[in-house]
């Protein structure tokens, strides 16, 4: 893919990640949503493509000053909304996606009979990304191969359930694991705000008492901690250890906090 | 190695791969042959070097508009022939190597007593690559350290055996596993053309009936499939699974197809 | 982190390593000391930071024409001394650190309430590296956020014990494992000079007879060998195998050579 890009464009190449879980559209969509808003305007080439070679379409998505290129399986859309949302440097990665949709345009990309049925990253998406780069993101829709569509696959992350009582007594929040990072930190869809002003209170995570702290190192090495991760959401972590193993949590698992 | 290159040349650096199997000259030679023809003219620095520090030579190989720099253990030659073969963008990676030899020149590279006997990537090959880059690939042979040679180590991949019958009855093809990719797809030396017009026929792989399909996703998740991979050769794969584990195949193993 | 850098500076980005052992300050400090002196002047951004979010300071260290940016846990200092030592290209990576201290300046870097308590690589160190790059390394100390300090955490590697006898009889050297490289080679703090002129003598490593050779391939595949690695120190290795497993050695273990 890098060869194809170098052959067709003088664009600067930045390696963002080569270690997303293979074939995992949903976890990749999560990471792209969190990471790409930190970049300046760019063409983001995304290849997590379990349906390669089938009749799923190739997409070019314009999202504000950015473009995303990849398969029509939903992987691009959460990041597209995050990129399109009005944002400042400080709010990168944690914008709500309110009015973002109107700043997102989705195009199918016409595919010739490709050189392979098994590696569209090289044969379809890299050439498309080079073409979009050289035309300019704003002109992506004017390219001959681009056709506006609204029939693409979307992907949304589940909403957490958060309940409290006005009397200040026990409240709870139930969410889901969206990803596990390279350190084993368990990233949930629970907003970090549920911990606001509650860092000294007793809380259980799926029934196990766990201290809520601002930093990993606030607990001893090897100890469990509930914290707010760099993506603004609640994380189940272990100081200098692997939270996923100690909490026994994987992507898709339910996480219930009770105070 | 990157530091040495940055210190000696302003060349643009592209990371191609850091995860070839350690010490495995043959598998690396395969991947380089498949991947490098997709790049524009460049100096390709290759360090898979189990004989580091012995009296094996250092080589600079000119292959068309490209150069390769690395140890004299055969790892450079299959890629050199592929790079030297007349090609179009579309044929990259699947040219036969017919008249390529005459467009390949091999030079030994004179080595000073190096700073180490254990890391020639840093102490020998990176400085050589920088020198070749700055002189220009076409002038590699004019550099003082370069001496033409024909006594270098070569490496060839085995040829498959393909037989059929004029009466249209059973035919077979026997090949070998050349590599297993990061997804577990088993890449053989059998040309994809053996599957031409035969995607609906019954075929066995080492005795096991296996559907031949154009895409991984043509079979259900976890199911075996015989397909033509992105390198133009027959692959034994599992949709969203690891073909090497399900087929029980490793590099060097024999693969026999019978229709 | 790359996004933040791209947004704030036009600096060229070079990926040095993403695979240091997580949270391991000491092993990372070793590798940085060995690797960074091969680079031309640069701002080196280092994030191995088990204390992220605590009150440990952020540091900017000027070391000759280089700068290092990272957490105040000692990880930057061995490399800083190596970078500051007068050196030639040939001596890179093996300078003694004699008068280097006077060419090293350490500054704490003032941190705003960051966007996270858990990812200062993105929220603190990458912005600091961009600022130092754009101001110029020589001007790092003039930046508003930089305050000279001498109260930072330092980190030193243990000294080996080397003893001999004037009568030429048995001598010994006792050191420690500093790191294990990706091939499994065990890198000690014993200087390679203890093997000078002694490559034909009998030596034991923790009691086991082991040949001392200049190259890995001087012994048969799978056999133990004592050699001088590319960092100039004694390595316990196995030709085409993993020295750490065969010698049973890990970081911090004691290594005793007896002739």
Q: Residue C88: its pLDDT value, please?
A: 46
Cβ neighbours of A82 (radius 10 Å): 25
Name the least confident of B59-73, B104-118, B163-177. Answer: B163-177
Residues 115-174 of C with CB under 8 A from A: 115-119, 122-123
Q: Which residues of B touch A10 (CB under 8 A)?
A: none
Domain segments of chain C as ranges: 2-148, 161-258
Q: Residue A141: its pLDDT value, please?
A: 95
Query: Residue A122 corresponds to which tokens in the numbers above?
Result: 């090289």
Cβ neighbours of A94 (radius 10 Å): 19
Q: Which residue of B lies nearest to A7 if distances are taken between CA atoms?
A: B40
Mean predicted confidence (pLDDT) in A237-256: 96
The whole model's pTM is what?
0.91
Residue C130 has pLDDT above 90, yes or no: yes
Name the least confident of B78-82, B201-205, C222-226. Answer: B201-205
Residue B234 has pLDDT above 90, yes or no: yes
Cβ neighbours of A2 (radius 10 Å): 17
Who among B13, B22, B116 is closest to C183 (CB)?
Answer: B22
Q: Residue A118: its pLDDT value, please?
A: 85
Which carries the bigger pLDDT value, residue B87 or residue C135?
Answer: C135
- Chain A partners (3+ C-beta pairs within 8 A): B, C
Q: Which residues of A touch C118 (CB under 8 A)?
A: 185, 215-216, 227-230, 235
Who among B3, B54, B117 is closest to C35 (CB)?
Answer: B3
Q: Which residues of C touch A232 (CB under 8 A)?
A: 116
Q: How far is C214 from chain B (nearest CA, A)?
A: 6
Whether C229 contacts chain B with CB within 8 A: yes
Cβ neighbours of A19 (radius 10 Å): 8
Residue A169 has pLDDT above 80, yes or no: no
- Per-residue confidence at C141, pLDDT binned at 50, 70, 90? very high
Mean predicted confidence (pLDDT) in C43-57: 92
Whether B16 contacts chain A with CB within 8 A: yes
Mean predicted confidence (pLDDT) in C102-106: 91
Q: How far is B89 from chain A (nearest CA, A)?
A: 9
Please give the mean pLDDT across all residues of chain C.
91
d(CA B216, CA B224): 9
Mean predicted confidence (pLDDT) in B200-211: 91
Residue B143 has pLDDT above 70, yes or no: yes
> Cβ separation of C14 and B2 shorter than 8 Å?
yes
Mean predicted confidence (pLDDT) in B52-71: 94
Q: Residue C100: its pLDDT value, please?
A: 64
Q: How far is C86 from chain A (nearest CA, A)?
A: 34
Mean predicted confidence (pLDDT) in A184-204: 90
d(CA A184, CA A235): 10
Which carries the bigger pLDDT value, residue B255 or residue C21?
Answer: B255
Mean predicted confidence (pLDDT) in B143-158: 96
| Residue B130, H or E segment | helix B126-135
CATH number of the domain located at residue range(s) A2-148 in this protein: 3.40.50.10790
Please give the mean pLDDT across all residues of chain B.
91
Query: Residue B162 corresponds to which tokens in the numbers above?
Result: 């393909």
Query: Residue C181 corresponds to which tokens in the numbers above?
Result: 């490289």
Which carries the bigger pLDDT value, residue C100 or residue B19?
Answer: B19
- Per-residue confidence at A89, pLDDT binned at 50, 70, 90? very low
- Chain B partners (3+ C-beta pairs within 8 A): A, C
Mean predicted confidence (pLDDT) in C16-38: 94
- Per-residue confidence at B89, pLDDT binned at 50, 70, 90? very low
The DSSP 8-state label assigned to residue A56 in this structure reads P
Highest mean pLDDT among A70-79, B48-57, C17-26, C91-100: A70-79
Q: Which residues of C touch A92 (CB under 8 A)?
A: 3
Q: How far is A31 from chain B (nearest CA, A)?
A: 20
Mean predicted confidence (pLDDT) in C76-90: 81
Q: Residue B112: its pLDDT value, please?
A: 87
Who among A52, A54, A122 is closest to B38 (CB)?
Answer: A122
Q: Which residues of A touch B215 (CB under 8 A)?
A: 52-54, 117-118
Give the count of Cβ contacts less than 8 A between chain B and C.
62
Q: Residue B95: its pLDDT value, please?
A: 46
Selected for mutation to probe chain A from B199, B230, B238 (highest A CB count within 10 Å) is B230
Residue B114 has pLDDT above 80, yes or no: no
Q: Which residues of B touch C218 (CB under 8 A)?
A: 53-54
Residue B176 has pLDDT above 50, yes or no: yes
> Cβ separation of B217 and A2 shorter than 8 Å?
no
Residue B236 has pLDDT above 60, yes or no: yes
d(CA B122, CA A76): 40
Q: Residue A198: its pLDDT value, please?
A: 85
Whether A183 contacts chain C with CB within 8 A: yes
Q: Which residues of A touch C4 (CB under 8 A)?
A: 38
Q: How far is A202 from chain C (nearest CA, A)?
A: 21
Instruction: Give residue-wise pLDDT tens across range A95-145.
Output: 444 556 779 999 999 998 877 888 999 999 999 999 999 999 999 999 999
Q: How far is C186 from chain B (nearest CA, A)?
A: 13
| Residue B94, H or E segment | none
Q: Residue C169: its pLDDT value, please?
A: 52
Selected for mutation to probe chain C from B1, B3, B51 (highest C CB count within 10 Å) is B3
The per-residue b/e assignment along C131-146, b for 16 or more CB within 10 angstroms, e otherwise, is: bbbebebeebbebebb
d(CA A200, CA C181): 43
Mean predicted confidence (pLDDT) in C16-45: 95
Which carries the bigger pLDDT value, residue B60 or residue C86?
Answer: B60
Residue C91 has pLDDT above 60, yes or no: no
Q: Residue C22: its pLDDT value, please?
A: 87
For the packed helices B77-84 and B25-35, what is the interaxial angle rounded to 10 degrees? 10
> Cβ separation of A118 and B215 shorter than 8 Å?
yes
CATH number of the domain located at residue range(s) C161-258 in this protein: 2.40.30.90
Selected for mutation to probe chain B from C217, C229, C234 (highest B CB count within 10 Å) is C217
Mean predicted confidence (pLDDT) in A223-249: 95
* Cα dist from A146 to A44, A60, A109, A140, whole Å: 16, 8, 5, 7
> Cβ separation of A14 and C13 shorter than 8 Å?
yes
Who among A22, A23, A118 is closest to B230 (CB)?
Answer: A118
Who among B6, B52, B118 is closest to C39 (CB)?
Answer: B6
d(CA B204, CA B219): 16
Selected for mutation to probe chain A from C1, C2, C3 (highest A CB count within 10 Å) is C3
Which carries the bigger pLDDT value, residue C196 or residue C25?
Answer: C25
> Cβ separation of A214 and C117 shorter than 8 Å?
yes
- Per-residue confidence at C110, pLDDT binned at 50, 70, 90? very high
> Cβ separation of B119 and C229 shorter than 8 Å?
yes
Percent of chain A with pLDDT over 70: 91
Same CATH fold assignment for domains A2-148 and A161-258: no
Mean predicted confidence (pLDDT) in A53-72: 95
> Cβ separation of B50 and C229 shorter than 8 Å?
no
Query: Residue A16 corresponds to which tokens in the numbers above?
Result: 């963002």
Residue A92 has pLDDT above 70, yes or no: no
Please give the mean pLDDT across all residues of chain A.
91
Q: What one-character-per-residue DSSP string does chain C give? A: -HHHHHHH---------S-SPTT-HHHHHHHHHHHGGGSPS-EEE----TTTTSSPPEEEEEETTEEEEEESSSTTHHHHHHHHS---TTTTT----TTGGGGEEEEEE---S-S-SS-HIIIIIHHHHHHHHHH-GGGGGGSTTEEE-S------PPPPEEE--TTS---EEEEEEEEE-TT--EEEEEEGGGGTT-TTS--EETTEE--B-SSGGGS-TT-EEEEE-TTSEEEEEETTS-HHHHHT--TT-EEEEE-
């Amino acid at each position: 893919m890098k060869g194809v890009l170098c052959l067709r464009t003088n664009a600067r190449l930045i390696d963002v990640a080569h270690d997303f879980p293979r074939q995992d559209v949903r976890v990749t969509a999560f990471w792209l949503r969190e990471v790409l808003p930190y970049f300046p305007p760019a063409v983001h080439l995304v290849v997590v493509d379990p349906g390669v070679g089938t009749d799923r379409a190739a997409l070019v998505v314009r999202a504000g000053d950015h473009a995303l290129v990849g398969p029509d399986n939903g992987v691009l859309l959460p990041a597209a909304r995050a990129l399109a949302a009005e944002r400042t440097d400080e709010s990168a990665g944690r914008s709500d996606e309110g009015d973002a949709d109107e700043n997102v345009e989705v195009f199918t990309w016409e595919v010739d009979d490709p050189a392979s049925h098994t590696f569209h990253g090289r044969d379809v998406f890299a050439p498309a990304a080079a073409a979009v780069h050289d035309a300019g993101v704003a002109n992506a829709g004017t390219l001959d191969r681009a056709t506006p569509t609204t029939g693409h696959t979307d992907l949304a992350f589940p909403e957490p359930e958060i309940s409290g009582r006005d009397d200040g007594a026990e409240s709870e929040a139930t969410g889901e694991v969206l990803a596990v990072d390279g350190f084993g930190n368990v990233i949930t869809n629970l907003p970090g705000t549920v911990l606001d002003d509650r860092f000294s209170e007793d809380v259980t995570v799926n029934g196990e008492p766990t201290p809520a702290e601002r930093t990993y190192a606030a607990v001893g090495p090897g100890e469990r901690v509930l914290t707010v991760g760099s993506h603004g959401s609640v994380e189940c972590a272990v100081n200098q250890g692997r939270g996923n193993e100690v909490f026994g949590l994987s992507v898709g698992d339910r996480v219930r906090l009770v105070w």
